[in-house]
Amino acid sequence: MSQEPNQNPSDVELETDDTDLVPRRRFLTLAGAGLLTIGFGSLAEGLVGNLSEPFNQQIESLIFQPHQLVPEFSVNEIEPDKLIVNTFRFTPAISPVTYRLTIDGEVNNPLSLSMLDLQKLPLTSMVIRHVCVEGWAAIVQWGGVRLRDLLAIAKPSSQAKYVYFYSADGYYESWDIDSAMHPQTLMAYQKNGQPLEPSYGAPLRLASPVKLGYKLSKWVTRIQVTSELAEKRGYWEDLGYEWYAGI
Ligand SMILES: Nc1nc2c(c(=O)[nH]1)N[C@H]1C(S)=C(S)[C@@H](COP(=O)(O)O)O[C@H]1N2
Ligand SMILES: [Mo]
């Protein structure tokens, strides 16, 4: 992956107009479009082979509307016992005092942020459904910093298309930048109104209603902006799971 520091001033749109609450979810349910594209994308990827950009993105990004909010639940709908700890390797021990989040790659202003730095930024709270492909779901409240606010400070280059997330347990994920910039994509440090516990990804994890559970990395230590996907795309994706994994 190339790094092109200070090439172009960012022209990524950063307006925070979140007022257009449109029932995207209802449309997807009615049309069955989410399931259809997952199946079709996987099939097409198999047939066409190694595309430079995942085939699914071409279809799913047509459906995905980056500025539309996913309807949220109310706090009395939280299901505190339903969020299963789903950790494939181990729970890393991370000191919140020495912890740093690095944001680098194709950005004009690389960052290294402490938890105190992050907690000074606006706190967003949302109650959403976490969906794991292993057949369970849970309504959870997450609190944290909007990733778009962090990226606004880091200033992605105009070429930026993808974002990689690296975790302290060796887990890694890549996302399309539109989903990363979605106003409900958070770097969370609270769960159900309490500080996030280590087993759930402390000190900092991804939370978002626009991606399936395996895209929601726990223990994130590095966010890398890039214009190209590497051969490695994600811990589960590299074992055959679908890359876009939108919901
Ligand atoms: N770093 C890391 N992130 C991860 C995982 C993991 O094993 N390691 N598991 C993923 C999966 S499949 C799911 S469903 C959610 C589970 O989050 P939870 O353990 O907080 O319920 O974390 C995701 N993020
Ligand atoms: Mo999962």
Q: What would the pLDDT profile of 202-222 be if each residue is shown by its tens digit?
A: 999 999 999 999 999 999 999
Tens digits of per-residue pLDDT, 149-188?
Answer: 999 999 999 999 999 999 999 999 999 999 999 999 999 9
Residue 19 lies in a domain: no
User: What is the model's pLDDT at position 13?
Assistant: 36
Host domain of residue 177: 24-239
Task: Provide mean pLDDT across the span 189-196.
Answer: 98
Return the residue matching tokens 């109310």.
74
pLDDT at 10 over 90: no
pLDDT at 7 over 80: no
Supply the mean pLDDT for the chain. 84
Task: Report which ligand 1 atom has the smallest distance to the Cα of 132.
Answer: 14
Residue 163 lies in a domain: yes
The best mutation among 204, 214, 223, 237 to test binding of ligand 1, ranked by most ligand atoms within 8 Å of the C-beta, falls on: 214
Distance CA 176, CA 45 (A): 17
User: What is the model's pLDDT at position 74?
Assistant: 98
Residue 59 lies in a domain: yes
The number of domains in the chain is: 1
Residue 11 lies in a domain: no
Sign of CA dihedral 109, 115, 117, 123: positive
Residue 15 lies in a domain: no
For ligand 1, atom 19, the nearest C-alpha belongs to 85
Residue 68 lies in a domain: yes
Q: Are 163 and 225 in contact (CB under 8 A)?
A: yes
Reported pTM: 0.81
Nearest ligand by distance to the CA of 79 = 1
pLDDT category at 110 given cuts 50, 70, 90 is very high
Task: Report which ligand 1 atom has the smallest distance to the Cα of 236.
Answer: 12
For ligand 1, atom 11, the nearest C-alpha belongs to 214
State the distance from the centre of ligand 2 to the C-alpha of 8, rounded, in angstroms.
37
For ligand 1, atom 20, the nearest C-alpha belongs to 200
Closest CA to 29 of 125, 131, 127: 131
The best mutation among 78, 87, 132 to test binding of ligand 1, ranked by most ligand atoms within 8 Å of the C-beta, falls on: 87
Residues 85-109: b if buried by 16+ CB within 10 A, e if exposed: eeeeeebbebeeeebebebbbbbbe
User: Which residues are CB-contacts of 94 (< 8 A; sequence separation ≥ 6)?
Assistant: 168, 198, 202, 203, 219, 221
Residue 246 lies in a domain: no
Determine the 3-state secondary structure of 69 from DSSP. Answer: coil
Q: Are 127 and 70 in contact (CB under 8 A)?
A: no
Task: Report which ligand 1 atom has the smallest distance to the Cα of 138.
Answer: 21
Q: What CATH number is given to the structural domain containing 96?
A: 3.90.420.10
Residues having C-beta closer than 5 Å to ion ligand 2: 86, 132, 213-214
User: What is the model's pLDDT at position 54?
Assistant: 62
Residue 215 lies in a domain: yes
For ligand 1, atom 16, the nearest C-alpha belongs to 86
Distance CA 172, CA 214 (A): 10
